[in-house]
Copies of this chain bind each other. A is one copy, B any other.
Amino acid sequence: MKSDGMNYAPKGKTVPVVKPGEFVFSAVALDHGHIYGMCNGLVEAGATLKYVYDPDPVKVEAFLKAFPQATAAKSKEEVLNDQETRLIASAAVTNLRCPLGIEVMEAGKDYFTDKAPLTTLEQLKSAREAVLRTGKKYMVYYSERLHVESTVYAEQLIMEGAIGKVIQVIGLGPHRLNAKSRPDWFFKKEQYGGILCDIGSHQIEQFLFYANASNAEVTYSRVANYAHSEYPELEDFGEANLVASNGCSCYFRVDWFTPDGLPAWGDGRLMILGTKGYIEIRKYIDICTQDDRGDVVLLVNQDGEQRFDAAGKVGFPFFGRLISDCIHRTELAMTQEHAFLAAELCVKAQMNADKAGKID
């Protein structure tokens, strides 16, 4: 039970949107365990997984155990040149995600990368240009919203007007560090991008989504390494405030302080305040309850209090929509601009972060 979130790969009840063989994708670059969740989501939605490639045969072998239907490709080029493959799912080292994405799109395929999708404004510029040039998609696995049933359910409540207009979103994203299980690049800032760029990306994306914001600015951000001086480039704490152009605001905190006694990788919370009520989501665990169940949505408005257990009931519509978007060139799963805006704000929050406060 004491997982670290690295291999978080929820199983859903998503209905296939295509028949076997109708939408083929492959996996390239298995540096982060999120690739399992990404591929599983696509497979559940009906996509057919063809190739897998990573320079590390150990990673490929492990992947093939989870997805025996895949074939190990001999090289990245074999996958890029494959005519059947329409989308490539990737979880490269964070600062290599953008160059890989540009290669993928140049090869005429849509790209679906783990978050954060990029680490610098220069990468963002080249990614935007490549999308325009190729007409392909650069989609992002913002798993802490897209692959969590409670967050999907909250979307429905907000659409129904349950809390009026959304005024503010607060996100708490604690993670278990589990340092010994982490690869070297996880502790190198240039490679992982900083905590606000890395796990902060989930927070910023979900804010933009629930706020229905087409633009926003970072009004304050801060990072710290409070208690891990043995990893000088790790940031174990990050926080940021944002205000969207439509007036809605956001505060979030991310950290690597999940205690060992918590039977989940993190007590992720989301509080959405509206003019007529509020929603709290206890994403992965409802602490100090008997069964430690997650995916709990709490709604308070003029009609009273309501608790919803979303686990196993809602599914993950993102994946089917993504497949459909790739086929029909629509943007129902996520607009390209939304994916890039979230990325841009993460990089800016990270670049301008205050470093005030050192406990040690």
CB contacts (< 8 Å) of A273 on chain B: these are 174, 253, 255, 257
How many A residues are at the interface, by size bracket? 35 or more
Q: Is the interface of A mostly helix, strand, loop or mixed?
A: strand
Chain multiplicity (copies): 2
Pick from B224, B287, B292, B300: contact of A267, CB under 8 Å: B300
Pick from B227, B251, B277, B298: contact of A261, CB under 8 Å: B277
User: Is A52 engaged at the interface, CB distance under 8 Å to the other chain?
Assistant: no
CB contacts (< 8 Å) of A97 on chain B: these are none
User: Is A48 engaged at the interface, CB distance under 8 Å to the other chain?
Assistant: no
Q: Can you list, as one digit per residue, whether each of A325-360 has a CB less than 8 Å from chain B (1) or not (0)?
A: 000000000000000000000000000001011110
CA distance A300 to B261 in the complex (A): 7
Are A276 and B259 neighbours in the complex by a CB distance under 8 Å? yes
Pick from B170, B244, B259, B302: contact of A278, CB under 8 Å: B259
Q: How far is the CB of A29 from chain B (nearest CB, A)?
A: 34
CB contacts (< 8 Å) of A57 on chain B: these are none
User: Is A249 engaged at the interface, CB distance under 8 Å to the other chain?
Assistant: yes
User: Is A248 engaged at the interface, CB distance under 8 Å to the other chain?
Assistant: yes
Q: How far is the CB of A90 from chain B (nearest CB, A)?
A: 33
Are B257 and A275 neighbours in the complex by a CB distance under 8 Å? yes
Stretch at the interface among A5-13, A108-116, A197-205, A304-312: A304-312
- Nearest 7 A/B pairs, CB to CB: A220-B220, A288-B307, A261-B304, A247-B357, A247-B359, A243-B356, A227-B275
Seen from chain A, the residues whose Cβ lies within 8 Å of a Cβ on chain B are 165, 167-168, 170, 172, 174, 217, 219-220, 222, 224, 226-227, 237, 239, 241, 243-244, 246-249, 251, 253, 255, 257, 259-263, 267, 271, 273-278, 280, 287-288, 292, 298, 300-307, 354, 356-359
